[in-house]
Amino acid sequence: MIETEIIPYREEFKEQVLDLVISAWKPVFEKTINEVPRFVYDNFWPKGWQVRQISEVSSLLDSNSENVWLAFEGDSLAGFIAVAIHPEDRMGEISIVAVSPGHQRKGVGKELVHFAEQYIRDSGMNMVMVETVGDSGHKPARSTYEALGYVQWPVVRYFKEL
């Protein structure tokens, strides 16, 4: 069994992280496109989901790199996680977590979440939040969070095409 090593993000790994994002979320978005109203999908991702994901994750890596960690199994980037601290709510937020397809269902995501929880706890926060989507593509993420003791807060968003 290969041991997972979690290290702080470094700029030299940016392209690997961006490649991981695309490979990890490709099967998710393949399902999402058929499960959300088309006008919603087209407005959120007018140039395609890959373009927006690369832009958002790249921006995160450039502006908040001190709150991003990488999980390696051997020499292979297995996943990454980023957090945000919200002291006004005494809360930490897992803003993004992704695991490479070749490393999924092997506990890497859980290790990253545990690592983030400890960081948030050490930052003096009393709770942690993570958001995901209710479609079938995000079901594995929801299952992981629930298995780790996260409790769902029912939130409903409505969209209407204009």
Can you give the pTM of this predicted structure?
A: 0.88
Report the alpha-carbon distance of residue 154 to residue 30 in Å, rounded.
Answer: 25
pLDDT tens digits for 84-105?
999 999 999 999 999 999 999 8
Q: CA-to-CA distance for 23 and 82, rounded, in angstroms?
A: 18
**What is the DSSP code (8-state) at residue 60?**
H
DSSP letters of 19-58? Answer: HHHHHHHHHHHHHHTTTS-HHHHHHH-TT-HHHHHHHHHH
The packing angle between helices 49-63 and 14-32, to 10°, is: 140
Determine contact, residues 95/82, Cβ cutoff 8 Å: yes
Confidence of residue 159 (pLDDT cuts 50, 70, 90): confident
Give per-residue pLDDT as tens, 24-77.
999 988 888 888 888 988 998 999 999 999 999 999 999 989 999 999 999 999
